[in-house]
């Protein structure tokens, strides 16, 4: 098993702008997230090395811990096989995009590539 890779969300000056400068991939996929209510399902809107934007069923409180398990497509990563990834992070913001959709922006504090 691999050791988690530490991602410092507050590099250099620690600005939110720096977090948003990571290359984002518009990848839509179903993911499992762990919140204070247990395991729930969400869908990614975009993915970067520093965070995820998720489509979710409800508002999550900014600062709350979140864990995400997903299978990154090989085409996105440039690998020969899909890769299962476990991420630990925090909710940065959460807002209602429409009556049916909530978007949850997260920062990834660390992640682990799983076999």
Write down the pTM of the prediction: 0.76
Please say if the pLDDT value at position 97 is more than 80.
yes
Residue 7: the pLDDT is 41
The DSSP line for 69-104 is EEEE-HHHHT-SS-EEEEEEEEEEEEEESSSS-EEE
Domain total in the chain: 1
Spatial separation of the C-alpha atoms in residues 49 and 13, rounded to whole Å: 18
Q: How far is CA 17 from CA 40, 86, 87, in A?
A: 29, 25, 21
Expressed as residue numbers, the domain containing 68 is: 5-114
CATH number at residue 86: 2.40.10.220
Mean pLDDT along residues 37-45: 96
Q: Which of 71-75, 89-93, 101-105 has the lowest mean pLDDT?
A: 71-75
Strand pairing report for 5-6 and 30-35:
unpaired
């Amino acid at each position: 098993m691999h050791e988690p890779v530490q991602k410092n969300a507050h590099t250099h000056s620690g600005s939110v702008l720096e977090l948003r400068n990571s290359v984002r991939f518009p990848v839509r996929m179903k993911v499992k997230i762990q919140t204070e209510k247990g395991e729930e399902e969400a869908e990614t809107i975009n993915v970067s090395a520093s965070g995820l934007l998720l489509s979710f069923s409800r508002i999550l409180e900014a600062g709350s811990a979140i864990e995400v398990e997903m299978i990154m497509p090989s085409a996105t990563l440039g690998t020969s096989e899909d890769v299962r990834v476990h991420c630990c992070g925090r909710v940065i913001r959460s807002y209602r995009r429409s009556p049916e959709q909530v978007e949850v922006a997260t920062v990834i504090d660390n992640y682990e590539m799983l076999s």
